[in-house]
Structure 1
């Protein structure tokens, strides 16, 4: 995978497979600390200590569709190659949190990618999940800006109307893209 957004999608799909009902995706671009952090927290099945260790092995997977599980190990490797790391906090029956950290300015850091499209794809693909998306930036002077999208209000407003209606998709895409762009602009000035 060549973008952090695609790694986040892969991990979020793992959370869905673990029967999570609530999934939070957070991205923080901190220029003051020169750190990019991306995390996913869920309330799915979680993992016991042995499984949590094995998840970092590319030759281990719980999926039946393939014999290797490259997603998390590749993300870990990418983070470590950029002076960062990956942490996994989980407990059987209590969900999981995976966090990847990268030195933001590292020349080999993969791009963040189209995080808005990634989030929209997850929201549309799994409308039964309660999704929260947080995008935060900190500029080099320590000023913080934050965009948060919690799908609860949207789903309440829609009622029985599917989120896949073209006008609704257009509205949600615009809301997410504008929120991310406005937050990024506060930090970068672009």
Structure 2
């Protein structure tokens, strides 16, 4: 995949397929330690140990539409190529946690991509699901919690075009702020 936001989109699609109604996305960049951590936590169906082992096999998928599932294996390969790895923790009936760690400044690390577009797309297409997106850098931390947005907008649907435009702008401004004014 061309950028990390697309990898993240694929991971979150797995959470949605697992019937999660709360998905937490946490990104932490540490320039001093030259380390990047991406975590996706969900409250979906969860997986047993056998399924966890198979999940990183490109020739295993639970889908019936095609015979391979490349999302997790590709993200694991990206992490390993950049001096890190991908770990999966899951409890059947409670949810799954996927953590990817890699070297932040590694020459092979894909760019972040347009994270605000990815998050907005997820919210727009999955209005019934709550998302918590947190992104921490050495300059600060940004958090978007759709549960809080819902309190503010009241009866207005979260996928209303004006609400989505505001969310996108809010994310863009927040990411700009925690990246030292550089996006």
TM-score, shorter chain, exceeding 0.5 = yes
- Root-mean-square deviation (Å): 1.4
| Matching residue of 1:106 | 106
Q: How far apart, CA to CA, are the structure 1 residues paired with 2:95 and 2:177? A: 32
Q: How far apart, CA to CA, are the structure 1 residues paired with 2:145 and 2:23? A: 10
**Alpha-carbon shift at residue 91 of structure 1 (Å):** 1.6
Runs of 4+ in 1 over 3 A off after TM superposition: none
Q: How far apart, CA to CA, are the structure 1 residues paired with 2:150 and 2:65? A: 32
Equivalent residues in 2 for 1:28-177 (5 A)? 28-138=28-138, 145-177=140-172
**Alpha-carbon shift at residue 168 of structure 1 (Å):** 1.8
The 8 Å contact of residues 36 and 102 in structure 2, kept in 1 or not, is answered as: yes
Q: How far apart, CA to CA, are the structure 1 residues paired with 2:48 and 2:158? A: 35
Unaligned runs of 5+ in 2: none
SS of the counterpart of 2:136? strand
**Alpha-carbon shift at residue 156 of structure 1 (Å):** 2.2
Q: How far apart, CA to CA, are the structure 2 residues paired with 1:160 and 1:77? A: 43
Q: How far apart, CA to CA, are the structure 1 residues paired with 2:119 and 2:73? A: 22
**Alpha-carbon shift at residue 33 of structure 1 (Å):** 0.7
Unaligned runs of 5+ in 1: 139-143
